[in-house]
Amino acid sequence: MLTYIHIWNFAVVEKLDIEINNGLTIVTGETGAGKSILLDALGLSLGDRADSSIVRHGCDKAEVSVSFSTADAPDAEAWLVEHEMNSENECIIRRSINTNGTSKAFINGIPSPIKLLRELGEKLVDLHGQHEHQSLLKADLQRLLLDDYAGNQKQLDNVKQAFKIWQQLNSEYQRLTQASKDRAAQLDLLHYQVDELETLNLAEGEVKEIEIEHKRLANASQLLSSSDSVLRSLMDDENINVNHILNKSIAELDTLSKLDEAIKPANELLNNALINIEEATSELRSYSSSLEIDPQRLELLEQRLADIQNLSRKHNIGIDELHTLLPKLKKERDALENADVRLGNLESEIEQAASAYLDAANELTKKRQAAAKKLSKRVTASMQTLGMEGGKFEVSSNVPDDTNFSALGLDAIEFLVSANPGQPLKPLTKVASGGELSRISLAINVITAKDTRIPTLVFDEVDVGIGGRVAEIVGLELRALSEHSQVLCVTHLPQVAALGHQHLLVNKTSNKKVTTTQITNLSKEQRIEEIARMLGGLNITEQTRSHAQEMIEQAKQPATAKTVELA
């Protein structure tokens, strides 16, 4: 639901802050006052194109900021979560335009491209009367609306699941069919590769063990020579060695400690050092005795490493991962050897999956066609009361001969309309009149209000070319629609304006230097004056005010009690 609009230096608006309530919000004003500015600003925030001409004269940039509560917009909330922009059931969209034509956009403070603004905007607001945001003109949303109206979620889930199974089996069939074309050559290659790897018989972790042993053998002479040298220095040299020096030093300190006990800690440290030297000597002797200079073993290891590296390069895989390749190639070989059997089984499985899909899709088609007839009848009946007597609406739902399987079923769904008697039905996208299109949209939205996924509906030019009884019916339908969705409506008809829950007045003032537009949230008394103006023009009498007050009071009665009952 739209909750707040901030406009700054936009067209002839210097600064504007408006809180938008739930229910039906009416926007009125004299001709030329700029009633469309509010909708233009809203459209800009939702991704409409803009250029520097919308920046107020004398200013560097224009800015529009709109706030939404997404508590009643699960699709929008899910979109925000998916794009990591969610902010506790609130969405703030801000867009600025500079005089050089550049623009910036932010969703919950995160810089965003215009494409994302449009995606999110379609889940928040539906603008009727301007083509940029009219969801009813989009084929996929026409289908979605019909399915929501029919309550087809279970059938849709069944179709999606059946399609997924059929699609997976077909993909496997295509893969095996393609592979069977050069099956012999592939099998020869796989047999050769498997034999190579089996001959290599590489174990997990073996490469690391080989590298450690190879390094030791390759440096065996140096290791043996150096360790012997250290042993001689520690203990084996007849003339001088560490062991001899330590023993002599300990003996001298023993004598000295009898004279001064303070020297005992140093003597203990030397004793510990002697113990460590003896242990190190033992370890080195054991290590030296284990060392061998074995050229044959070294050559064997080098050949083993060379074989491993060659296969690693051949298969373009890391040496540490080479041991995982054999089971994969065996699986491919076995699958290819059994491809003919699997292909035969797949043909049967695909046929069964196609049959299951068609059963699910046909059930969905039946429900769609039944709902299409009902919706067509109800919208046609509503058109008769909205100034389009003799008009006709039809939801075309059929299965084309050349249709392909899809996750959404087999049906081609299209909204068709004839706004006047004698005119053939045409796609809704071909309807030329913005007013007619808005009223048809109004009729559809009133009937499907409980199923709508878009929380805020905006109607512009919905009352063009109508008046009297039809105007009141349009207002009543808007009021009824506002029980389920937030509705904004720009109107010049007092019959419609009197039915609003909130009333915004657009007023333009100018002098020789500057023109400014303001939008005011009217009080009860101000509403009476504005509706009296709409009724009586320049000459507003007490009788006109009384009539305006009566219209407002009547609007407080439940809308459902006054709305024309649709078949």
DSSP per residue, 469-509: HHHHHHHHHHHHHTTTSEEEEE---HHHHTT-SEEEEEEEE
317 and 195 within one domain:
yes
Instruction: Tell whether 115 and 209 lie within a shared domain.
Output: no
pLDDT score for 135:
67
In a domain, 530, yes or no: yes
Task: Please give the pLDDT value at position 565.
Answer: 42
Domain annotation covers residue 370: no
Range of the domain at 106: 2-129+452-561
Do 13 and 108 fall into the same domain?
Answer: yes
The tokens describing 202, both together, are 């590489």
Q: Among 337, 360, 391, which residue terminates a domain?
A: 337
Same domain, yes or no, for 329 and 192?
A: yes
Tens-digit pLDDT profile for the chain (567 aa)?
999 999 999 988 888 899 999 999 999 988 776 777 888 889 899 988 888 888 988 899 999 999 999 988 888 999 999 999 987 889 999 999 999 888 999 999 999 999 999 999 989 998 775 444 566 778 888 898 899 889 999 999 999 999 999 999 999 888 877 766 677 778 888 889 999 888 888 888 888 888 888 888 888 888 888 888 888 888 877 777 888 888 889 999 988 888 888 999 998 999 999 999 889 989 988 888 888 888 888 888 889 888 889 998 988 988 888 888 999 999 888 877 777 777 778 889 999 999 999 999 999 999 999 999 999 999 999 888 877 888 899 999 999 988 899 999 999 999 999 878 888 898 987 775 666 777 787 788 778 766 677 889 888 866 666 777 888 888 888 898 888 889 999 888 899 999 999 999 998 887 777 778 888 999 999 999 999 998 886 678 889 999 999 998 888 765 443 444 433
Domain termination site, one of 308, 337, 366: 337
The CATH number of residue 43's host domain is: 3.40.50.300
Q: Are residues 119 and 197 in the same domain?
A: no
Q: Give a yes or no: residue 366 inside a domain.
A: no
- The residue whose two tokens read 């200079």 is 293
Number of H helices, E strands in the chain: 19, 15
Residues 557 and 485 in one domain: yes
Confirm whether 110 is domain-assigned.
yes
Give the angle 245-250-251 at the CA atoms, nearest 5°: 100
Predicted local confidence at residue 4, as pLDDT: 94
- Using an 8 Å Cβ cutoff, are 522 and 60 in contact? no
Residues 362-390 have pLDDT tens digits of 999 999 999 999 999 999 998 888 778 88
Q: 53 and 121: one domain?
A: yes
Q: 225 and 313 share a domain? A: yes
420 domain-assigned: no
**332, 190 contact by CB (below 8 A):** yes
Residues 190 and 322 in one domain: yes
User: How many structural domains comprise the chain?
Assistant: 2
DSSP 175: H
Helices (H), 53-182: 74-82, 114-124, 139-150, 153-181
First to last CA, the chain: 30
Residue 236 belongs to a domain: yes
Q: What is the pLDDT of residue 91?
A: 94
Domain-terminating residue out of 311, 337, 363: 337
User: pLDDT at position 136, please?
Assistant: 76
